Structure 1
Amino acid sequence: MGRVEYWFQEAAPTANTLVPACGALVVDDTGRILMQKRRDTGQWALPMGKMELGETPTECAIRETEEETGIRVEILSLVGIFSEPNHIVAYTDGEIRQEFEITYLARPVRGEPTSNDEASDVRWFSLDALGTLDVHPSMRRQIAAYVDDKMPYLQ
């Protein structure tokens, strides 16, 4: 299924759903961040996906991260809850979502970065290297929330 993202664009359609999504900002022992290159948009993003019935937000973040990157994680803390009415995602099936994402800080516990049906590439990036990547503004906002508060986790 294809999708188009709108970020503060007047041409954005009106949302018809609000679906909780959960993900992880995964940081390794050297301070690098795990990113996946989305097949549907071609942009680099944090692993994240739709919460399923019967799971908690942390369970969703752990599951989605492993499914999308091959990395099993342990949740450390909350980065933030992000819901911007001016961030709209329109899917080809007619669903039009307003962003609602819960992002956790996590550390890797096992696995290797692995591409899959959702991610054409999965890699670790230093904070400096993130500036050169095509990253959606919503993801940049989440990474910035971590960077502003990261010192205790990298020392």
Structure 2
Amino acid sequence: MANYIREIRDLVGHKPIILNAAAGILLNDRHQVLLNLRTDTHNWSLPGGYLEYGETFAQACVREYQEDSGLRVSIVRPLGLFDRGQTVYPNGDVTQIISRLFLVTQTGGHTLQQATAETLKLDYFDLTDLPPLLNDQTTAMLAAAQHQLS
């Protein structure tokens, strides 16, 4: 996927583009949500990411969740579609992200024990006491999850 986005960026530079993404809400037994500390922006987001060409939102969520966290998950149910706001990355890229949010359950794997190219670390947080988040859309997704899952 990075090559696909890189090809688009080679054509349009930092001009705003629209991308599709999927993310998952995984809660522990204390009703805390798993977040990942991102390597690119150094703030927290839900495990997830951009769809690859031909992929569904659900497929992307499962794939990206494992890449970002080390955990295998399955979809429980959708929690919403989020299409407002933009993200400005440190390199100047600007995106409007259309994100499908899912409630997920762990089916295997283990949380990453060391940093990767995309994740510095993982941690669980109370939905009412969150760290600095990636963008307003992440805030909206977590607020929706708190409302729907309380």
Question: Which residue in 2 is equivalent to 1:55?
Answer: 55
Question: Which residue in 2 is equivalent to 1:107?
Answer: 105
Give the distance between the partners of 2:97 and 2:143, measured in 1 at CA: 17
Give the distance between the partners of 1:147 and 1:128, measured in 2 at CA: 8
Give the distance between the partners of 1:36 and 1:106, measured in 2 at CA: 15
Which letter maps to 2:95?
R
Percent identical: 25
Give the distance between the partners of 2:132 and 2:90, measured in 1 at CA: 21
Question: Which residue in 2 is equivalent to 1:80?
Answer: 80
For the structure 1 residues 14 and 149, does the alpha-carbon distance in structure 2 shift closer, same or farther, using more than 3 Å as the test? same
Unaligned runs of 5+ in 2: 3-13
1:126-137 residue pairs with structure 2 within 5 A?
126-130=126-130, 133-135=131-133, 136-137=135-136
Computed over aligned residues only, the root mean square deviation of the Cα atoms, in angstroms, reads 2.2
1:1-155 residue pairs with structure 2 within 5 A?
15=16, 17-84=17-84, 86-90=85-89, 92=91, 96-114=94-112, 115-130=115-130, 133-135=131-133, 136-151=135-150
Name which of structure 1's ranges 68-77 and 121-130 shifts more when overlaid on structure 2. 121-130
Unaligned runs of 5+ in 1: 2-12
TM-score by length of 1: 0.77
CA contact (8 A) 2:15 2:93 kept: no
For the structure 1 residues 112 and 128, does the alpha-carbon distance in structure 2 shift closer, same or farther, using more than 3 Å as the test? farther
Which letter maps to 1:101?
S
Give the distance between the partners of 1:30 and 1:110, measured in 2 at CA: 19
Give the distance between the partners of 1:149 and 1:128, measured in 2 at CA: 14
TM-score by length of 2: 0.79
CA contact (8 A) 1:36 1:122 kept: yes
For the structure 1 residues 119 and 21, does the alpha-carbon distance in structure 2 shift closer, same or farther, using more than 3 Å as the test? same
SS of the residue corresponding to residue 41 of structure 2 reads coil
